[in-house]
A and B are shown apart, each in its own frame.
Chain A
């Protein structure tokens, strides 16, 4: 009986443990012909991902652009 209850508790604990969040991110920019394109920034995880979404991505000219990431 104890084994079954411990089993239920163990499965619950494992089930509710979430893993580290990672996402593919990009920002939108205009190419040389004036068309809107997505510039891929690759995969970002954890605090790095949070900082990127809250502050944006800094371009070489120092300006920040909004970043869009996709949940996995």
Chain B
């Protein structure tokens, strides 16, 4: 036994020794391609290694602790086109930067494959949070609403669930820097679980994506990426506050980011306070108020061939549930109030999240290994009739493991293999009035492998994955296991101006515990929910075609798709009522066919370089095997964005002016018991300005949302049956102080 321990220690030492040696310094110079003069303050960054540095006044740079592993670096400088290249530390490089004529899209790396968006075979939509802040977005729900092809199912302003290609809840998986977020997402009134605090961007993968993201991802994936660390041996801080007139809301956040040699730190704190929102007629919707606070920190360290990131997130929200009444006669005006109040009132949700994520990455000459372990704790309490005794009190503990190994056989062939595991336990509080889902635990295990092949023009990928899920219920001595095999095959043809991608992918979703064993009142959705133990696994198969054309002034994207889901699970309203709540049973339909398309255009005219016109249109149709439409399918959405940008300078200047118009069509293709909805138009305006000094920067923004004070009821709003409209006209103002210490 003792000798075995010594052997293990010896092996570990060899492994660490191997992992920690052989890194070098990456040196180079960045030059203007026309004049061959050095470009000062260009930023050279490896997304993969999360290290970077800026050039000096002569354009020279060096990055220490750069491993021999061939990593992709991105080079950006103000006034120049972004560039990317593969590089290893044993070379001294010269980078020629072309002065920018017009830039339609900046380089973005798609996680977790680490490939550039423009080279990825699977199309990934990336939304940078500071970009969408051209018009202030107060909640993560608002950010998602304004993303092309993404919809939000909401309960007031405080609760927002992402809807991708008509699917939401358990069918859309959320990741936060590789950590799978579990927050009772099966519930129609349980929101996204991630706050916008300290988030740099998020990526949307539409359609079944089980291969890389595990079971459940049959609708799509939302992948949030946290803010980058500060540049080497620098620090930056900010304090930001904004005010909105409609719900008299205030968002305030502060942050500090600094690096010292190989160590990197981020700290963020934010709070949000929102009163009941007001309608176009000036009255407010009772109990649509919410407050939330969040704190997050991350620590990164890299040395030679090893990188570690430790991330911790804490958030707490108290969210009112509007549209709730036990009165015999229910009418829309019952939920109106003329009083202004921020204080929580019944019913409300009290949600606390703790997320911790530890990621280790080891680089070898031709490969890398990622080991990620995480734990999420989600406490969900719904207070219905009593302020000290919750109606529902559930604690969800999820431990996750993610191992990924990538090996580059050559510049045209790479293999990515991995193991994903999760152990999840749901526990009900002793004090709760209702037990909707009994105490239970779920175990997930998946193994996958993907092969990437191809050159600059032609690329292919194919992969296979097998999954197993075991569900155990304590009180019923019940156990059931589900298995699934998934695939993804895709190819892409890449030229300077066009990209064609064709992907076939599958996904599987085992029934959630709630869908099988729920038997109780769900106050938040005003339903008595009954599960079914005989539910089978959902299986999805999608074909997705993407055509992308771009030149210096025009970019066009056309993305039709067809997704078929077998054994589709949904809630069906019954004729019965229990304890005055309508009964909903989980049932299955043989198959649902979903098809549609996204179309996007970005035009940047040669005669007026400051002008950007972006427009997108999304359409979706879903029909089941009984030839009936599916519940909660989003209507067509046409978005248009006109932005005029101005030159940067010292002192005060206007950065941009934005006009945004979202036209949501009416939805008449509805499920048998569902009500149709009317179309509506939301027009927004925003202006952003900057006060710039040598070290600091102050951002000022102001604008108006829903300028026309349009009275609308969104098709995906849980309040549509009560004919409760969305917010009316909304003025906002915000200020952000940025302090940068070099």
Q: Looking at chain B's contact residues, is the secondary structure mostly helix, strand, loop, or mixed?
A: strand
Contact of B388 among A15, A53, A68, A72 (CB under 8 A): A53
B267: interface (CB < 8 Å): yes
Is A8 interfacial (CB-CB < 8 Å)? yes
Please tell me if A59 contacts chain B, counting CB pairs below 8 Å.
Answer: no
Interface residue range, chain B: 20 to 34
Stretch of B216-224, B328-336, B343-351, B565-573 contacting A (4+ beta carbons < 8 Å)? B343-351
Give the distance to chain A from B588, nearest Cβ to Cβ, in Å: 39
Task: State the Cβ distance, B254 to closest chain A Cβ, in Å.
Answer: 6
Known A11-B254, A11-B269; judge A4-B237 contact (CB<8 A).
Answer: yes
Tell whether B389 is near chain A: CB-to-CB under 8 Å. yes
Q: Which of A2-61 contact B (CB under 8 A)?
A: 4-5, 7-9, 11-12, 15-16, 21, 23, 49-50, 53-54
B386 to chain A: which residues have CB within 8 Å?
53, 68-69
Instruction: Tell me which residues from 330 to 366 in chain B have a Cβ below 8 Å from any Cβ of chain A.
Output: 343-346, 348
A49 and B383 CA atoms in complex are apart in Å by 14
Question: Is there contact, CB below 8 Å, between A21 and B387?
Answer: yes
Closest to B268 in A: A8
Interface size counted on chain A using CB atoms at 8 A: 21
| CB of B138 within 8 Å of the partner chain | no
Chain A's closest residue to B315 (CB) is: A16
A1 touches B388 (CB 8 A): no
Task: Point out which of B256, B295, B316, B388 has the most chain A C-beta atoms below 10 A from its C-beta.
Answer: B388
Q: How far is the CA of A11 from the CA of B271 in the complex (A)?
A: 10
- State which of A1, A23, A54 has its C-beta within 8 Å of the C-beta of B235: A1
B348: nearest residue on chain A (CB-CB)? A71
CB contact under 8 A between A12 and B269, given known A49-B388, A69-B387: yes
Q: Which residues of B contact A68 (CB under 8 A)?
A: 385-386
Which of A5, A21, A49, A71 counts the most chain B CB atoms within 10 A? A71
A54 to B371, CA, bound (A): 48
CB < 8 Å neighbour of B387 from A1, A8, A53: A53
Q: Are A53 and B267 in touch, CB under 8 angstroms? A: no
A54's contact among B237, B265, B267, B389, by CB below 8 Å, is which? B389
A1/B258 in contact, CB under 8 A: yes
Cα distance, A41 to B695, chains bound together (Å)? 60
A1 to B260, CA, bound (A): 12
> Is residue B293 contacting chain A, with contact meaning CB distance below 8 A?
yes
Contact of B295 among A12, A21, A50 (CB under 8 A): A12
Q: Which of B673-725 contact A (CB under 8 A)?
A: none
Which residues, 190 to 226 on B, are CB-close (under 8 Å) to A? none
Q: Which chain B positions have C-beta within 8 A of A70?
A: 345-346, 387
Report Cα–Cα, A65/B163, bound state, in Å: 44
Known contacts: A4-B237, A16-B293. The answer to whether A71 contacts B345 by CB under 8 A is yes
B269, B316, B343, B386 interface centre (most CB from chain A within 10 Å): B386
| Minimum CB distance partner of B254 in chain A | A8
Residues of A within 8 A of B (CB): 1, 4-5, 7-9, 11-12, 15-16, 21, 23, 49-50, 53-54, 68-72
Q: List 24 A-B contacts (CB under 8 A).
A: A1-B235, A1-B256, A1-B258, A7-B254, A8-B254, A8-B267, A8-B268, A11-B269, A12-B269, A15-B271, A15-B293, A16-B293, A16-B314, A16-B316, A21-B387, A50-B389, A53-B388, A68-B385, A69-B388, A70-B387, A71-B343, A71-B344, A71-B387, A72-B343
